[in-house]
Amino acid sequence: MKDTQAVRKAKEQLVLGSRILANEGIVDGLGHLSVRNPDNPNTFFQSKSISPEFMTIDDIMEIALDGTVVVGIEGEKPFGERIMHGAILDARPDLNCVFHSHPLPIIPFSVCEEMPLKPVMVYGSLFYNGFAYYDNPDVSSGTLIVSQEEGKQVAEALGDKYACLLRGHGLVTGAQNIPELVFDTILLIKNAEVQLSIEATGKQPKLSSSEEGLAFRTFIHQNALQRCWDYYVARAKKVMPDINDLTGI
């Protein structure tokens, strides 16, 4: 069965988003992106177990929200942590894509309780409603989020936020669509880099207000999002010519 136009677009954005996040240094060999099936809100698309930098449209599986592989690939495994993606997409109908990776500038804020992540510049104010934290209560099965129970706990921890820090592990972000997720996540990491450099000086930043954040989020998403998406896509295509035939939006 041939993909509908909406599904094809979702899959192309999944590839572009994965490549961009790798190209911009937000994800390395580990980490993964997912996008909800636009034709069926109860399944989502995600690549087989392969690094985002090298995934192609032929690597995409269709997965149910409980993690069951609906359309798999012969001889290939899904990501163990697809469970977490499904649990979040299940708990948050307003989100259509989820990303998880271990960007280094975010980690200190996940393990130092006295140093919460916060907006220190307009980039961070995209997350004006705050950040969520998840501290795995049972590590006997490892710190990865691979059981239904753990997936649901992360989704609960996320609540109505757009980013959740997993203690000593990494980051989960969610958004309405992939350009938004890419944009928000890249800017979040930059905000973390800046905050980390401020924390090293021991100085106190005057924070952006929630009001400012809300205003900025609204404005930026109307004006700069398309420009930045085009920029990220163009940069990725420059060094990854195999994605040249994929269309941005």
In terms of Cα–Cα distance, which of 110, 99, 105, 163 is closest to 135? 110
The pair of three-digit structure tokens given for residue 191, joined into one six-digit string = 């905000």
Residue 54 in the binding site for a copy of itself (CB under 8 A) = yes
Task: For residue 168, give every residue at least 6 positions away whose Cβ sits within 8 Å of its Cβ, in sequence order, or none.
Answer: 107, 110, 111, 143
CB atoms within 10 A of CB 178: 28
Member of 3, 38, 53, 90 binding a copy of itself (CB under 8 A):
53
Task: Return the half-sphere exposure (C-beta side, CA atoms, 13 A cut-off) of residue 89.
Answer: 29
Where in 175-234 is the site for a copy of itself (CB under 8 A)? Answer: 190, 193-194, 196-209, 211-212, 215-216, 218-220, 223-224, 227-228, 230-232, 234
User: Of 65 and 107, which CB lies nearer to a copy of itself in the complex structure?
Assistant: 107
Which residues partner with 101 through β-bridges? 171
Cβ nearer to a copy of itself, comparing 90 with 199: 199
> Which of 143, 147, 248, 249 is close enough to bind a copy of itself by CB under 8 A?
143
Alpha carbons 17 and 99: distance in angstroms, whole number: 10
* H or E segment and range at residue 166: strand 163-166
Kindly state the smallest distance separating residue 146's Cβ from a copy of itself, in Å: 8
The footprint of a copy of itself (CB under 8 A) covers: 28-30, 49-51, 53-54, 80, 102, 104-105, 107-108, 110-115, 119-123, 125, 139-144, 167-170, 190, 193-194, 196-209, 211-212, 215-216, 218-220, 223-224, 227-228, 230-232, 234-235
